[in-house]
Amino acid sequence: MADLVNRLRGPELVAQFQKLCGLSLLPEGKPTRRHFTETGGQADHTHRVHTAAWTGNHTNAANNGTVPGAPVVMYIGQASKDVLRWPRPPSPPVVKLEVRVDAEYGMPSTHAMAATAIPFTFLLATMNRYKYPFELGLLLALAICTLVSLSRIYTGMHTVLDVLCGIAITAVLVAVSYPFWDALESFQMRNSFAPVLALSLSFLVSIYYPELDHWSTARGDTTNIVSAGGGAALATWINHQWSLLPEPSSAPPYDIPTLSAPLICRMGARFAIGIVIVFIARQLIKSVALTLVCRLAGVSPRDREARKLLRVEVPYKYITYSCLGVVGLAVCPAVHHYLAL
């Protein structure tokens, strides 16, 4: 068993899969437009951190760095990375096609977790609500999960074990939580304490995110996800309390409307208007939140290094994305309703 785990955790399987897909490292001396040559110190730091981590030398890795997302599933995945601190596959032998998140650790794959959670929770939530072949829904969910998971190996971001563990963890979480979905939804819509609980919990788990041994995008991305989830919970409560969404006129299961030109135009208009609202709201809210938080923290909003500080990064991202959760799930539907869309 230990040999199997080590093989699944090793970079060789990743390199073999990439080679099967036509990817291979360039011979030394050939010009390349890799991000490492463009960003200098940060890329070199990332390489040193993960090389040290792969060989087990975590002390040296920590000295090289700056010490300082369904939302619950993504938080568990992101936090697990910084607790376990398993490195991403090293290059060589692996070809790295992404660099933004290379400074993060790899176990488990949060992309694999999201690709399991989103389609399968959607399937479970709609299979008794709408009329469609369950087999088709299951096939689509499996296809999404498989393709996204394989893409993380193809890009060289995760080992096979990272991906398998991400899928397994999410499968267990979905199976355990499924019987409580209806009760949770009822509490979220009807209980007056639900918005306070959702917003406070999302802020606390962001503030008390596992301490980083070097700065990466993990804490900020996690804050974005859980705060947006808190804002979405508040939006759900608002929609129900203020009756912003129309109640269905009959009991489920419902027929799925047939695609037609008017329906497609209506969908396109809703999408375009929603995107514009969210984009404008994000720019405004982020600007105000960043300025306010930086002023309270005594740093300049233009100082990108200061934005990595815990007292700056978490509050301004929390304010921005919790507000966007409300904008996306309450404001946009209200505008669509007003415009008869």
Cα 228 from Cα 205, distance rounded (Å): 13
Terminal Cα distance for the chain, rounded = 57
List the catalytic residue out of 45, 50, 111, 214: 111
pLDDT tens per residue, range 225-271: 999 999 999 999 999 988 877 777 788 888 888 889 999 999 999 99
Please, are residues 39 and 187 in contact by the beta-carbon 8 Å criterion? no
Which residue type, as a one-letter code, is found at position 147? L
Percent of the chain with pLDDT over 70: 86
User: What was the pLDDT predicted at 46?
Assistant: 39
What mean pLDDT do residues 124-143 have?
A: 93
| Both structure tokens of 73 | 């599933």
List the catalytic residue out of 45, 50, 158, 214: 158
Contacts of 158 (CB under 8 A, 6+ apart): 14, 88, 89, 106, 109, 111, 112, 152, 166
Is 336 considered catalytic here?
no
Is 58 considered catalytic here?
no
Write out the DSSP string of 181-240: HHHHHHHHHH-TTHHHHHHHHHHHHHHTPPPPSS--SHHHHHHHHHHHHHHHHHHHHHHH
- State pTM to two decimals: 0.77
What's the pLDDT band for 48 if we cut at 50, 70, 90? Answer: very low
Cα 319 from Cα 304, distance rounded (Å): 18
In terms of Cα–Cα distance, which of 329, 338, 323 is closest to 235?
A: 329
Q: What is the mean pLDDT of the chain?
A: 83
What mean pLDDT do residues 203-211 have?
A: 88
Range among 42-46, 130-134, 244-248, 273-277 with highest mean pLDDT value: 273-277
- SS3 state of residue 130: strand
Cα 289 from Cα 221, distance rounded (Å): 16
Write out the DSSP string of 249-302: SSPSPBPPPPP-HHHHHHHHHHHHHHHHHHHHHHHHHHHHHHHHHHHHHTS-TT
